[in-house]
Chains A and B, each alone.
Chain A
Amino acid sequence: MARFSPPEAFSAATRDLSLLPFNFERTGTGQYLVANMVGDFIRLTEDELRRLVDLQARPGDGLYEKAYAAHLVTGTNQKAQRQLLAARLRSRMSFLQQTTPLHIFVVTLRCEHSCPYCQVSRQSTDRSRFDMSEQTAMRALDIAFASPSARIKIEFQGGEPLLNFPLIRTIVAAAKARSGKMLDFIIASNLALLDDAVLDFCKANDVQLSTSLDGPADLHNKNRPRPGANSHELAVAGIQRAREVLGHDKVGALMTTTEASLDRVDEIIEEYLRLDLDGVFLRPLSPFGFAIKTKQFAKYDAEKWLAFYERGLRRVLEINRQGTPFREFYAALLLTRMLSDRPIGYVDLRSPAGAGLGALVYNYDGSVFASDEGRMLAETGDDAFRLGHVEHDSYNSLILSDKLIGAISSSLTQCAPECSTCVYESHCGADPVYHHATQGDALGIKPLSAFCSRQKGIMSLLLDILESSPEDAAILRRWAAT
């Protein structure tokens, strides 16, 4: 029928095509991974990449279709491609609208555990000069309530925060007495000191609990020594009691990887399954506090950790394939960024960095830090992320301090060498505290950064699974969905 036109009649002339921004990385001989401005990935051959850059892609050749659908090219006069990218980028970055949603109160530095990897230099339990005072706590609350977020989370940390439980009660009551913000509370505790009084309080005030669980008893107790060598027993009993009183989802557990963990990821996961937890967060060891002093950090490198992680992730996928829903939470975070545009403000996975903008830490002595790791650095004599003190500073003076602005603006992945051209940039984050701690520089040299190796390693692994194992890919997509 003559009145209908063929497809060629609707294609743009080469001169009317424009490239849109994209990053790429060579993944093998003649093979490239390409990401658009919002981190959608496609794979191109070297020949395709050349033809794309020369704007030689033509409708019908397969390359044009791939490149157009991935927003790598647009008609010069078209608007929709750019508007789609703009809308999606706006959504991805909208975590910035929630400024400082997390406020960490270090109510005491004392602890009855003596973990060699402790990221905070613990103090013996009887030295009450390491407790936060009520006056300091109230000033810290003033600052927390001056932050712009309509909803804030107050997290109690230590040391072991339950060693200063009376102050937790005081802070929760005072926070609730103030109006104007929705509040969440969480206590990060080893649960060794959990008793009915604490549980009743948590129930009455809707306070959640987060604890440490490093794996099976022998591994956990080796990592987390305490008098009686019963840390594992107390943590497990604490999780179970907290669930009975507060509800199953009101207590979470985090693990820390040590050299002793590296060969035992299956057992660690098994322990989380045994306790009916809904997933595990396979975390790397942080280079802070005692972890550096005791040379724990140097004992394994990113490659070893990645092998541990991959084995763990594959075990978790196997568990899902066998019918038990169970997640690896770090993968879930990354997948949410890779497969959706939902704003993820996770402190270590954002740029501008989460330091200060994502969280403020009020130390027991009134010092205010840009992140939990920042105060850990200070315990070893490095004040780079000490933003000020509750006595002399306001929310604004802390957030607008030269130290914070300097650290954040110098570490933006959007313009950092290596990061700005990295194919994974959209899904990664600036971690100025980590890079300061390991390289003495908030920006850091990324090829030397274990953070960078880990990020690239995990994302490349996830992409590989998404592309090559349909059944596992379906499981991973579910993690990103909710």
Chain B
Amino acid sequence: MTLPLYGTALQSTGFSSDKARSVIRLRSIESVAERHLADFAIARTSDDIRRAIKTEWPSILVVSDDPIDLSGAFTGRLIAVSAKYDYFADGDVIGFDHASGKFRTLYRRNSAHNSFLVTERCNNYCLMCSQPPKNVDDRWILSEIKESLPLIDQATRALTFTGGETLSDWEDLIDVLKECRDRLPATAVQVLTNGRAFSNSRIVDAWKDIGHPKLMAAIPVYASVDYVHDHVVQAKGAFDETILGILKLKDRGQRVEIRVVLHALTAPIIEDTGRWIARNLPFVDHVALMGLENTGFAIANDAMLWMDPVDYGDGLARAVDHLRAAGVNVSVYNLPKCVLPKSVWPHALQSISDWKNGFVEECDRCDEKHACSGFFTTGRPRFSRGIRAITSQRDRLNALVD
């Protein structure tokens, strides 16, 4: 299943032209929460629309493929979207462009995987990038995020900021993170960044000065050798800046996660990379070894990048061993259990965001499905030849073979 996170409204009325975009929050019609100017009642039927108007909602979002019957004079703001957005629920936040009617889902209250795209610009050009960079002026996105933060439920456990390179406009991002600190003090914040900006002491000092207790920088390191990493990220000198950045962050007591995306250039050397991280950076807060999401540039570079996870499982297991022995907190993301050696299972997490997570038919018979990452549904999914339901019967067979 892939949730559609953006689209174009079937119709919209009542928006003023002095502002190009609005950030809106969805509310159930019965909601008794204090109404904010940005709040829209969600209506799914004509009945809902009538009730919303009756209860004096000034703004309504209709989720329906049927024609809309406003039955009388409604002078407020109205947006209508197709029924395929029926996941919209109370508390969700949406960015809406007045002129084009285009909208993007920014935040879903019921999801554990909320991430904000900060920019599409990047100073890396990774071979497997799932979000290929564009060199456009998209600074309006950060303004939109600033506008969204006050609308987000304070009980939200975690938010992720992603890109592009999130620190492309580092001063603006740091302002946003300060807002998070003040408005969402209980929410853990993860920023995906290539870390190169942190080689600049001014930026890393500003990051530290945010003083956010639950802020983590998640930084990719693809190899223990400079040119191998630089090749993967297509930027000469990136390895040096990234490692310096990690050192400067940790020197200032900031939380850091290292992320290694596994593909044909990084997976065959994952044991070396894991051992190197264990020896050189054991003080990082978390290491995530991640299966490839086959979308974006990864599709274009498929011939260079595809490697069946069953062919790197043993090296992955040894990398996990090295990291564990050094006391490093290590997880494996995005890889289903059936393609992993059993020693890795305790580290394999259900990491794929709910809106792009799915299973295959074989999984229906599997005992471990409830505790498995499953698959990405985005792009052009590639499946390992090792996919096989895990059942107690199979375990017994394996025991015989062993």
Contacts and interface: CB of A to CB of B under 8 A. Distances in A.
Given A10-B236, A65-B225, A69-B224, A481 B326 contact: yes
Interface in A61-118: 64-65, 68-69, 75, 78-81, 83-84, 87-88
A340 B282 CA distance: 9
A69 B240 contact: no
A39 B247 CA distance: 20
Interface stretch (B38-46, B227-235, B370-378): B227-235
Given A4-B301, A84-B243, A84-B247, A481 B225 contact: no
B239 interface: yes
A474 interface: yes
A1 B276 CA distance: 32
A1 B325 contact: no
A396 interface: no
A480 interface: yes
A64 B227 CA distance: 10
A88 B280 contact: yes
A296 to B, nearest CB: 39
Interface residues of B, number: 32
Nearest to A59: B227
Interface string A36-77: 000010000000000000000001000011001100000100
A80 B228 contact: no
A79 B224 contact: no
A333 to B, nearest CB: 16
B194 to A, nearest CB: 14
B300 interface: yes
B300 A68 contact: no
A68 B127 contact: no
Interface in B212-231: 224-228, 230-231
Given A10-B236, A64-B225, A84-B243, A481 B325 contact: yes
A1 B327 CA distance: 41
A81 B251 CA distance: 16
B301 A1 contact: yes
B35 interface: no
Contacts of A478: 325
B327 to A, nearest CB: 6
Interface string B90-107: 000000000000000000
Nearest to A67: B225
Q: What's the interface size class on A, roughly? A: 20 to 34
Contacts of B321: 474, 477
A87 B227 contact: no
Contact of A7 (B228, B240, B300, B301): B228
B282 A80 contact: no
Contacts of B301: 1, 4
A9 B236 contact: yes
Contact of B240 (A59, A75, A474): A75
Nearest to B244: A80
Interface in B284-323: 300-301, 321
B279 interface: yes
A78 B300 CA distance: 32
Interface in B106-151: 125, 127
Interface string A330-366: 0000000001110000000000000000000000000
A135 interface: no
B234 to A, nearest CB: 6
A6 interface: yes
B272 interface: yes
Contacts of A9: 231, 236
Contacts of B239: 80
A11 interface: yes
Contacts of B242: 80
Contacts of A481: 324-327
Contacts of A79: 199, 240, 244
A340 B242 CA distance: 22
Contacts of B279: 40, 339
Given A5-B234, A481-B326, A80 B243 contact: yes
Contact of A11 (B227, B282, B300, B326): B227
Interface string B260-293: 0000000000001000100110100000000000
Contacts of B225: 59, 64-65, 68-69
Given A79-B244, A474-B321, A7 B231 contact: yes
A80 B240 contact: yes
A12 interface: yes
A341 B227 CA distance: 26
B240 A78 contact: yes
A69 to B, nearest CB: 4
The 3 closest A-B pairs by CB, nearest first: A80-B243, A69-B224, A10-B230
Interface of A: 1, 3-7, 9-12, 40, 59, 64-65, 68-69, 75, 78-81, 83-84, 87-88, 339-341, 474, 477-478, 480-482
14 contacts: A1-B300, A7-B228, A10-B226, A59-B225, A64-B225, A68-B224, A69-B224, A79-B199, A80-B243, A80-B247, A83-B247, A87-B251, A481-B325, A481-B326
Given A7-B227, A79-B199, A340-B282, 11 more contacts: A1-B301, A9-B236, A40-B279, A69-B276, A79-B244, A81-B240, A83-B244, A339-B325, A474-B321, A481-B325, A482-B327
